[in-house]
């Protein structure tokens, strides 16, 4: 069913105060998410943190079911952690690497991930290789297939890179990884919440995502999926009394499920808020969300591309609800600041965030506008008119 835009805007108090087109940064939460967190924080204040967590335990457990429903996986394959970076790091740094091992990634890979690749390479003697793009600007699957050999120990790709609308062909990448028997780590920070994510179709063995972007959840919480067949092969880079049990003075035993990638302490209110956000998205339907997001993003691209001096820099055959653009003679930061004065929220992506990709295209920075399903066509027109003027 199409999304009832009036209803979801009524559920979102921020819609009456700002034209929020920075959902790739942090989306406006629905009222149910905010209220869920406030209720738990009040319970902590009135009864104590441990006591509040005990009372919330059944609802906390349901959060794992919500993530599992979002990803079409089993709840035992889900870890809920402090943020997407921690989720991704816990998976990546669990992989054993040695001299001569190869990590294959994309040219538009996110900076935090690439820095981790380089750190691991420096420590272990492994190498990092960015696979070439195809004619559409997405990872070239044929080139990936040709790059495979026995030394490849990981394929790691960002589903939707941070600086524009590119959607990498992850199902095809997953098929290549499965055929080669190479683990596939997928960064789904910008895709979770704006399109369906089925880990069986995607073919990934690990997936990380955040709550604060298109899922419309709180900041400071994320989640990690690890396929059951891989959990037992991975030892997290650090453990505690939650992720492992101390069974003898000289021995410990790790958990058998994905919660071996968690730690005991966490933000209970944020976890509950994440569960509420995922439930809200599932209730609307990810297919309906994807359709609405793409309609608004296509409208924005067309409107901006028609303006003199404005260039839209999005690549890829299939495009997400992130639009990267520049305007001749104006710095992206200046444009974002001027839009903010008008009550229009956007952000910028600098070359440092996707260094290889943006350097190859001669880009220092782009303005990043990212509509969501609660935005209106009129809000898109307001942004286009503001950039024109």
In this structure, the answer to whether residues 267 and 381 fall within a common structural domain is: no
Report the distance separating Cα 114 and Cα 121, nearest Å. Answer: 10
Question: What digits encode the pLDDT tens for the residues 14-43?
Answer: 999 999 999 999 999 999 999 999 999 999
Q: What is the pLDDT of residue 83?
A: 97
Report the distance separating Cα 83 and Cα 75, nearest Å. Answer: 18
Give the length of the chain: 389
In this structure, the answer to whether residues 249 and 273 fall within a common structural domain is: yes
27 part of a folded domain: no
In this structure, the answer to whether residues 340 and 209 fall within a common structural domain is: no
In this structure, the answer to whether residues 97 and 239 fall within a common structural domain is: yes
| Residue 163 φ/ψ, nearest 5 degrees | -100, 0
In this structure, the answer to whether residues 128 and 248 fall within a common structural domain is: yes
In this structure, the answer to whether residues 316 and 210 fall within a common structural domain is: no
Tokens of 123: 């420590």
Report the distance separating Cα 228 and Cα 78, nearest Å. Answer: 10
Q: What is the pLDDT of residue 217?
A: 98
In this structure, the answer to whether residues 249 and 349 fall within a common structural domain is: no
In this structure, the answer to whether residues 41 and 124 fall within a common structural domain is: yes
In this structure, the answer to whether residues 96 and 178 fall within a common structural domain is: yes
Report the distance separating Cα 303 and Cα 306, nearest Å. Answer: 5
CATH of the domain at 102: 3.40.640.10
26 part of a folded domain: no
29 part of a folded domain: no
In this structure, the answer to whether residues 338 and 222 fall within a common structural domain is: no
Q: Which of 249, 283, 317 is the last residue of a domain?
A: 283
**Parent domain of 62:** 34-283
Q: Which of 248, 283, 318 is the last residue of a domain?
A: 283
Q: Which of 234, 264, 283 is the last residue of a domain?
A: 283
Q: What is the pLDDT of residue 1?
A: 84
Query: H/E/C letters for each residue in the chain?
Result: CCCCHHHHHHCCHHHHCCEECECCCCCCCCHHHHHHHHHHHHHHHHHCHHHHHHHHHHHHHHHHHHHHHHHCCCHHHEEEECCHHHHHHHHHCCCCCCCCCEEEEECCCCHHHHHHHHHHHHHHCCEEEEECECCCCCECHHHHHHHCCCCEEEEEEECCCCCCCECCCHHHHHHHHHHHCCCEEEECCCCECCECCCHHHHCCCEEEEECCCCCCCCCCCEEEEECHHHHCCCCCCCCCCCCEEEEECCEEEECCCHHHHCCCCCCHHHHHHHHHHHHHHHHHCHHHHHHHHHHHHHHHHHHHHCCCCEEECCCCCCECCCEEEEECCECHHHHHHHHHHCCEECEEEECCCCHHHHHHCCCCEEEEEECCCCCCHHHHHHHHHHHHC
In this structure, the answer to whether residues 271 and 308 fall within a common structural domain is: no
Work out how many domains the chain is built from and give that number.
2
pTM: 0.97
Question: What digits encode the pLDDT tens for the residues 333-376?
Answer: 999 999 999 999 999 999 999 999 999 999 999 999 999 999 99
Nearest to 364 by CA among 373, 355, 374, 377: 355
| Angle formed at CA 244 by CA 240 and CA 246, multiple of 5 degrees | 90
CATH of the domain at 12: 3.90.1150.10
Per-residue pLDDT of the chain (389 residues; tens, 9 = 90+): 899 999 999 999 999 999 999 999 999 999 999 999 999 999 999 999 999 999 999 999 999 999 999 999 999 999 999 999 999 999 999 999 999 999 999 999 999 999 999 999 999 999 999 999 999 999 999 999 999 999 999 999 999 999 999 999 999 999 999 999 999 999 999 999 999 999 999 999 999 999 999 999 999 999 999 999 999 999 999 999 999 999 999 999 999 999 999 999 999 999 999 999 999 999 999 999 999 999 999 999 999 999 999 999 999 999 999 999 999 999 999 999 999 999 999 999 999 999 999 999 999 999 999 999 999 999 999 999 999 99
Q: What is the pLDDT of residue 351?
A: 96
Q: What is the pLDDT of residue 286?
A: 98
């Amino acid at each position: 069913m199409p999304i009832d835009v009036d209803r979801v805007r009524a559920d979102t108090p921020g819609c009456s105060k700002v034209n929020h087109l920075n959902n790739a940064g942090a989306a406006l939460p629905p009222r149910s998410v905010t209220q869920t967190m406030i209720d738990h924080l009040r319970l902590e204040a009135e009864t104590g943190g441990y006591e509040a967590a005990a009372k919330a335990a059944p609802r906390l457990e349901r959060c794992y079911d919500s993530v599992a429903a979002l990803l079409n996986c089993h709840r035992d394959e889900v870890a809920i952690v402090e943020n997407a970076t921690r989720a991704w790091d816990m998976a990546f740094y669990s992989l054993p690497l040695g001299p001569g091992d190869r990590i294959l990634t994309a040219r538009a890979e996110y900076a935090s991930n690439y820095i981790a690749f380089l750190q691991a390479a420096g420590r272990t003697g492994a190498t990092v290789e960015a696979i070439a793009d195809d004619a559409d600007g997405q990872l070239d699957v044929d080139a990936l297939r040709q790059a495979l050999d026995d030394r490849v120990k990981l394929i790691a790709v960002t589903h939707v890179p941070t600086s524009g609308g590119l959607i990498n062909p992850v199902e095809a990448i997953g098929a290549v990884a499965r055929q080669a028997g190479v683990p596939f780590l997928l960064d789904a920070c910008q895709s979770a919440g704006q399109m369906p994510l089925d880990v069986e179709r995607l073919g990934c063995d690990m997936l990380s995502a955040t709550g604060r972007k298109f899922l419309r959840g709180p900041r400071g919480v994320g989640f990690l999926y690890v396929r059951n067949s891989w959990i037992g092969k991975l030892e997290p880079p650090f453990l505690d009394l939650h992720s492992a049990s101390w069974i003898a003075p000289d021995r410990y035993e790790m958990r058998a499920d994905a919660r071996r990638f968690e730690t005991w302490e966490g933000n209970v209110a944020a976890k509950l808020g994440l569960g509420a956000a995922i439930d809200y998205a599932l209730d609307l339907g990810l297919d309906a969300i994807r359709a609405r997001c793409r309609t608004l993003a296509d409208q924005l691209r067309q409107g901006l591309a028609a303006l003199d001096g404005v260039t839209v820099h999005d690549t890829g055959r299939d495009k997400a609800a992130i639009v990267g653009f520049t305007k001749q003679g104006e710095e992206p930061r200046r444009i974002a600041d001027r839009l903010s004065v008008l009550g229009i929220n956007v952000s910028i992506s600098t070359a440092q965030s996707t260094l290889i990709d943006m350097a190859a295209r001669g880009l220092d920075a782009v303005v990043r506008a990212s509509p969501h399903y609660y935005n209106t066509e009129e809000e898109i027109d307001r942004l286009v008119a503001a950039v024109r003027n």
